[in-house]
């Protein structure tokens, strides 16, 4: 949100209370308190009729400082709040040059190599890493903004240095480098072609060697070098805001510390890395249709691991009833057994909404399991499903009730759930536990996916639980896997999908997938074959569409050959991918890695968003054009094409034309992929 009109003026409908002074510092058992009034204090009389910001500074872990800012503490809204995995009650180390009688003194609050430096009498705060300036809070960048209509916003800005670039903030389909963008951390269902997204994460890191986690589940508005081109500004409509400054200095070290705080992903089962095929969304299908697809894969010798039933495994107008459509699937238990006998795992689509026609609606309404309006009546609307309500996961009984419906499906033979939606969460409602409805909008997806993941783990056992989730917030990485949402069947959408995925990987998520071929429209055979290569070189690989089946022979027979080729290539790479997956769970470092994460010292990698690293050793550049021509950059060193074994020199750009069975896929000379030798993969 923008509050100013240029450098000098505040917008007409806002009044600014900037921190002008640091008046005093007090040590408490678990923090250091800083009192910062909105005016200069020159004498005792200046302490009257003036507000002040209070900071509680903590050192939650080595190399991290927490700054909890608040104005009127009694107006802070409380629940919900992100549950941090590390201790937050440790006071930072203190070095003080303070003199008696409140004459100005300098302070240094430290957590290992990172320090917060300030002086009494000045509003400036500097952050240093190993003695080097990382960023600073400059005058007129921190305080309260009061709107004429009564809203109050707490705001803070951290300065950028010359050439400093910003990454992260969740799944974003806009340019990967966030400088110049205005970003609201607010989950919405908008496809992949706009500035809104399904997975908004209030965390970013910069090429300056530090990251920032804004520990607020509500709508965080960021101006990333946009309102003030020299500042990343973040604000919330609230009386309090906490942020953690995380020193790296490398991107991987920042991600490791951030995920140590917010949680690291569980390890998905090994079978989930194989090829997934779905019924698609609005297509007509029954058991014979499903078998036709599965048998077609077997006849063409295309390895298939998971079959997914999308929405219409249930009757329309009844989502979610968790009851199979008996007209289409008269024997669901037998069908699931028969699919298992073919060596397949089975996933079914769910969401957190209960339509009025569902047999579960009245049950949920009568027991208080559905979200209510402030007047105590059940909240409903007709968007998506007629008269649908929303499960209230802040109610433990509602959570157990919802899980019991899923447990029945798991006991029937279902292996995984696609947890769709979770973004369309109303704010004009009342939650069971009294949570702030605005903060619950983003936070809801964490409760939703956690509830589903827990029942999967209980029923299937440790190491067998896996989701296919669309929405997320901070901490959502603990419940993999996430996919990129509703793309269109165009090259431009394939590219924006990759941007969204790389941005999500920059935000602490370890595993990621997307709809091979695009979700909307049918797309061309050419696009399908190019997207297959991209999809099978992602951590998880799924064929899915909206109104048409994504089986390869619907495009052409060559598409079958291409799909077989890359599916078997991924199978041969599985020892390496499995090693990366275990690393993601242990460290938080993702399987797919943006180029700048692996090569932070190479300025040529800073803006690359049409290529990525699979781990640290395998470079992938999907082909994004009908003519098969792809430009790509190889960092310093000698590189070997994984398939052709042809060498290439790094430290320069390359261009080549690739058929459907190839793409820029390089390993640095001397690197080994867990000792794998890629065989001549059958076409």
For residues 511 and 614, the answer to whether their CB atoms sit within 8 Å is: no
pLDDT class of 111 with cuts at 50, 70, 90:
very high
Dihedral over Cα of 224, 426, 546, 506: its sign: positive
Tell me whether strands 416-419 and 482-483 are parallel, antiparallel or unpaired: unpaired
Residue 613 Cα distances to 315, 527, 616, 635, angstroms: 42, 22, 6, 11
* Residue reference for tokens 């320069």: 652
In a domain, 454, yes or no: yes
Same domain (yes/no): 499, 642: no
- Closest to 50 measured CA to CA, from 71, 30, 65, 70: 71
For residues 326 and 314, the answer to whether their CB atoms sit within 8 Å is: no
Residues noted as catalytic: 420, 423, 486
Q: pLDDT tens digits, residue range 564-575?
A: 999 999 999 999
Same domain (yes/no): 310, 406: yes
In a domain, 631, yes or no: yes
* Strand residues in 599-651 grouped as ranges (E): 612-614, 618-620, 629-634, 638-641, 647-649
- pLDDT at residue 671 tops 90: no
Kindly state the percentage of the chain with pLDDT values over 70. Answer: 97
Q: pLDDT tens digits, residue range 463-492?
A: 999 999 999 999 999 999 999 999 999 999
**What CA–CA distance (Å, rounded) separates 111 from 124?**
19
In sequence order, the 6+-apart residues with CB closer than 8 A to the CB of 615 are 576, 577, 579, 580, 583, 591, 593
- Opening angle at CA 245, ends 239 and 251, nearest 5: 140
pLDDT class of 683 with cuts at 50, 70, 90:
low
Q: How many helices (H) and strands (E) does the chain have?
A: 10, 39
- Closest to 208 measured CA to CA, from 174, 242, 179: 179
* Strand residues in 433-560 grouped as ranges (E): 482-483, 512-513, 515-516, 541-543
CATH value at residue 632: 2.60.40.1180
Q: pLDDT tens digits, residue range 524-554?
A: 999 999 999 999 999 999 999 999 999 999 9
Residue 554 Cα distances to 70, 226, 529, angstroms: 59, 46, 12
pLDDT class of 116 with cuts at 50, 70, 90:
very high
pLDDT at 102 (0 to 100) = 39
Q: In this predicted model, which residue has the larger pLDDT, 390 or 7?
A: 390
What tokens appear for 516 in the block?
Answer: 């091979």
pLDDT at 678 (0 to 100) = 64
- pLDDT at residue 118 tops 80: yes
Tally the domains of the chain: 3
In a domain, 361, yes or no: no
What tokens appear for 243 in the block?
Answer: 């942020």
Of the three residues 580, 603, 631, the one that is the final residue of a domain is 580
Same domain (yes/no): 274, 324: yes
Helix (H) or strand (E) holding 233: strand 231-236
Across the beta sheet with 114-119, the strand order is 93-96, 106-111, 114-119, 125-129, 132-137
Kindly state the percentage of the chain with pLDDT values over 90. Answer: 93
The average pLDDT across 375-381 equals: 98
In a domain, 58, yes or no: yes
pLDDT at 88 (0 to 100) = 59
* Residue reference for tokens 């997938």: 513
pLDDT at 100 (0 to 100) = 37
In sequence order, the 6+-apart residues with CB closer than 8 A to the CB of 222 are 169, 182, 183, 184, 185, 204, 232, 233, 234
Same domain (yes/no): 542, 618: no
**What CA–CA distance (Å, rounded) separates 565 from 660?**
10
**What CA–CA distance (Å, rounded) separates 135 from 565?**
49
* Residue reference for tokens 């459907």: 660
For residues 170 and 472, the answer to whether their CB atoms sit within 8 Å is: yes
* Residue reference for tokens 């990525």: 612
pLDDT class of 99 with cuts at 50, 70, 90:
very low
pLDDT at 87 (0 to 100) = 64
Same domain (yes/no): 663, 600: yes
117: containing domain: 4-159+210-247
In a domain, 205, yes or no: no
The average pLDDT across 309-338 equals: 97
In sequence order, the 6+-apart residues with CB closer than 8 A to the CB of 55 are 33, 34, 36, 67, 68, 69
Helix (H) or strand (E) holding 128: strand 125-129
CB atoms within 10 A of CB 425: 21
Same domain (yes/no): 533, 415: yes
What tokens appear for 105 in the block?
Answer: 């003194």
* Listed range (53-57, 119-123, 156-160, 508-512) with the worst mean pLDDT: 119-123
The average pLDDT across 101-123 equals: 85
pLDDT at 98 (0 to 100) = 44
In a domain, 390, yes or no: no
DSSP 259: H
Same domain (yes/no): 559, 607: no
- Taking CB atoms within 8 Å and a gap of at least 24, the contacts of 422-427 are 422/187, 422/351, 422/352, 422/448, 422/449, 422/469, 422/470, 422/471, 423/187, 423/188, 423/189, 423/198, 423/470, 423/471, 424/188, 424/189, 424/383, 424/384, 425/187, 425/390, 426/371, 426/379, 426/381, 426/390
What tokens appear for 43 in the block?
Answer: 């004498």
Q: Within a 13 Å sphere around the CA of 59, how many CA atoms are in the beta-carbon half? A: 19
Strand partners, 284: none
3-class SS of residue 183: strand
- Closest to 266 measured CA to CA, from 509, 535, 613, 616: 509
Q: In this predicted model, which residue has the larger pLDDT, 95 or 39?
A: 39
- Taking CB atoms within 8 Å and a gap of at least 24, the contacts of 373-379 are 373/428, 373/429, 373/430, 374/428, 374/429, 374/430, 376/430, 379/426, 379/428, 379/429
- pLDDT at residue 510 tops 50: yes
Q: pLDDT tens digits, residue range 331-369?
A: 999 999 999 999 999 999 999 999 999 999 999 999 999
CATH value at residue 49: 2.60.40.1760
CATH value at residue 541: 3.20.20.80
Rg (CA), the chain: 26
Same domain (yes/no): 89, 26: yes
Same domain (yes/no): 568, 613: no
Same domain (yes/no): 459, 608: no
Q: pLDDT tens digits, residue range 256-311?
A: 999 999 999 999 999 999 999 999 999 999 999 999 999 999 999 999 999 999 99
3-class SS of residue 140: coil
* Listed range (31-40, 450-459, 590-599, 673-682) with the worst mean pLDDT: 673-682
Q: pLDDT tens digits, residue range 168-211?
A: 999 999 999 999 999 999 999 999 999 999 999 999 999 999 99
pLDDT class of 577 with cuts at 50, 70, 90:
very high
In a domain, 341, yes or no: yes
Q: What is the pTM of this model?
A: 0.96
In a domain, 54, yes or no: yes
pLDDT at 670 (0 to 100) = 84
pLDDT at 372 (0 to 100) = 98
The mean predicted confidence, pLDDT, of the chain is: 95
- Opening angle at CA 469, ends 345 and 600, nearest 5: 110
Same domain (yes/no): 480, 513: yes
Same domain (yes/no): 569, 601: no
The average pLDDT across 82-102 equals: 69
Q: pLDDT tens digits, residue range 121-176?
A: 999 999 999 999 999 999 999 999 999 999 999 999 999 999 999 999 999 999 99
- pLDDT at residue 252 tops 50: yes
Of the three residues 580, 611, 629, the one that is the final residue of a domain is 580
């Amino acid at each position: 949100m923008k509050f100013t009109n240029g450098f000098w003026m505040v917008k007409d409908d806002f009044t600014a209370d900037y921190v002008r002074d640091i008046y005093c510092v007090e040590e408490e058992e678990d923090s250091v308190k800083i009192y910062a009034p909105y005016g200069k204090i020159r004498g005792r009389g200046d302490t009257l009729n003036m507000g002040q910001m209070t900071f509680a500074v903590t050192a939650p872990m080595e190399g991290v400082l927490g700054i909890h800012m608040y104005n009127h503490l009694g107006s802070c809204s409380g629940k919900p709040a992100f549950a941090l995995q590390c201790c937050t009650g440790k006071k930072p180390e203190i070095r003080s040059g303070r003199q008696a009688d409140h004459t100005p003194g300098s302070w240094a609050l430290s957590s290992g190599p990172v320090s917060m430096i300030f002086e009494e009498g000045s509003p400036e705060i500097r952050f240093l890493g190993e003695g080097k300036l990382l960023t600073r809070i400059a005058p007129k960048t921190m305080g309260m903004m009061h709107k004429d209509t009564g809203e109050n916003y707490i705001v803070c800005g951290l300065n950028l240095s010359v050439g400093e670039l910003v990454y992260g903030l969740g799944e974003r389909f806009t340019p990967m480098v966030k400088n110049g963008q205005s970003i609201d951390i607010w989950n919405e269902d908008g496809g992949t072609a706009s500035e809104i997204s399904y997975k908004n994460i209030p965390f970013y890191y910069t090429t300056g060697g530090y990251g920032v986690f804004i520990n607020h589940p509500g709508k965080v508005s960021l101006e990333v070098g946009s309102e003030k081109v020299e500042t990343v500004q973040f604000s919330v409509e609230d009386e309090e805001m906490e942020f953690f400054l995380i020193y790296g200095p490398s991107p991987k070290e920042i991600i490791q510390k951030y995920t140590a705080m917010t949680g690291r992903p569980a390890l998905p089962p090994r079978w989930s890395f194989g090829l997934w095929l779905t019924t698609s969304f609005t297509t007509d299908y029954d058991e014979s249709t499903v078998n036709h697809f599965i048998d077609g894969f077997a006849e063409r010798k295309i390895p298939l691991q998971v079959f997914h039933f999308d929405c219409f495994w249930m009757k329309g107008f009844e989502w979610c009833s968790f009851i199979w459509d008996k007209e289409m699937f008269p024997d669901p238990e037998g069908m699931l057994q028969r699919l298992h006998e073919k060596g397949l795992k089975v996933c079914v689509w769910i969401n957190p909404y209960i339509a009025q026609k569902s047999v579960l609606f009245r049950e949920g309404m009568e027991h208080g399991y559905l979200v209510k309006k402030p007047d105590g009546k059940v909240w409903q609307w007709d968007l998506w499903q007629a008269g649908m309500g929303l499960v209230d996961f802040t109610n433990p009984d509602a959570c157990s009730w919802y899980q019991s419906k899923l447990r029945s499906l798991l006991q029937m033979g279902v292996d995984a759930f696609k947890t769709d939606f979770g973004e369309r969460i109303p704010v004009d409602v009342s939650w069971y536990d009294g949570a702030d409805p605005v903060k619950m909008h983003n936070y809801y997806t964490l409760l939703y996916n956690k509830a589903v993941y827990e029942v999967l783990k209980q029923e299937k056992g440790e190491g067998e639980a896996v989701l296919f989730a669309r929405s997320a917030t901070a901490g959502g990485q603990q419940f993999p896997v996430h996919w990129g949402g509703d793309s269109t069947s165009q090259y431009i959408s394939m590219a924006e999908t990759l941007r969204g995925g790389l941005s999500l990987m920059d935000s602490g998520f370890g595993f990621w997938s997307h709809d091979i071929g695009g979700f909307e429209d049918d797309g061309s055979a050419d696009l399908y074959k190019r997207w297959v290569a991209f999809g099978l070189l992602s951590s998880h690989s799924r064929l899915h569409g909206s109104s048409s089946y994504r089986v390869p022979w619907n495009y052409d027979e060559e598409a079958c050959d291409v799909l077989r080729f890359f599916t078997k290539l991924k199978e041969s790479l599985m020892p390496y991918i499995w090693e990366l997956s275990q690393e993601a769970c242990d460290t938080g470092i993702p399987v797919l890695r943006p180029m700048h994460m692996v090569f932070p010292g190479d300025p040529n990698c800073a803006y690359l968003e049409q290529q990525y690293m699979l781990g640290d050793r395998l470079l992938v550049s999907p082909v994004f054009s009908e003519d098969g021509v792809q430009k790509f950059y190889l960092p310093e060193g000698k590189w070997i094409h994984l398939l052709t074994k042809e060498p290439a020199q790094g430290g320069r750009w390359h261009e080549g034309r690739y058929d459907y069975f190839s793409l820029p896929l390089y390993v640095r000379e001397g690197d080994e992929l867990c000792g794998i030798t890629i065989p001549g993969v059958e076409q």
